[in-house]
Every structure is written in structure tokens, then in C-alpha cells.
Amino acid sequence: DARAHLDRLVRARFILAAGVHRLADVARYLRGIEYRLDRLAGSVERDRARIAEVSGVEARWRELHRDGVDVTDVFWSLEELRVAVFAQGIGALGKPSVARIERELAAVSNLRP
């Protein structure tokens, strides 16, 4: 999961996709991955439970993304959710939650042609 997260976050031309204004956020998300992995050894089951917490909304995001729906804002909300769920010590911006992201996904899916 952490490898897939890293690959999704840092890919070819990611700076162009994210924009320079997002680089500090991307650095924080990378610290969040490191934070998570540093604490993984003693809490594998807890990490699996956290994966289950975020996997449903991430799957819905991927589905809409594949369908060509603009889910860019939701992508960043998912990153904040991952910080909140896996790396609380890093600090998420806003108050990300699965319920909020589900509402965002519902709103963008209602806008699709």
C-alpha cells in the first residue's frame, strides 16, 4: 500500500501535474509515508485496519478518474486523509474524513455528462 501510494504521488512529470504551489504539500505527504513506515513494525494489524478505512473512497476516486471525471481536488483531499489516518503526528490540513470525501465524490460524479 505504501509503495502504491508513493508511486501515485511521485510519478513522471508530477511537478507539472501538481503545480509548484503543491510541492510543500507533496513533501509533507512523503514525510507521512515515512512516518507510517517507521511505526509499522509494531502495528501491522492497525495499519491494515487503516488501509481498509481509506481503500473504499480511494477505489471510488480511481473509478471516476479512469472515467475521465476531474477528481483533482478529491486527490488532494485523499492525501490529507492519508496523513490524518496514517501519520497523525505530521498533521493534516483541514478536517479530512471518509464522509467528506464521499460527499466530494458524489458531487463530482453528479456533474459527469
Specify the pTM.
0.91
Is residue 29 within 8 A of residue 83, CB to CB? The reply is yes
Of 105, 15, 17, 22, whose CA–CA distance to 69 is shortest? 105
Q: What's the mean per-residue pLDDT of the chain? A: 93
Digit-coded pLDDT (tens) for 53-98: 999 999 999 999 999 999 999 999 999 999 999 999 999 999 999 9
Cell numbers of 23, please? Answer: 510541492
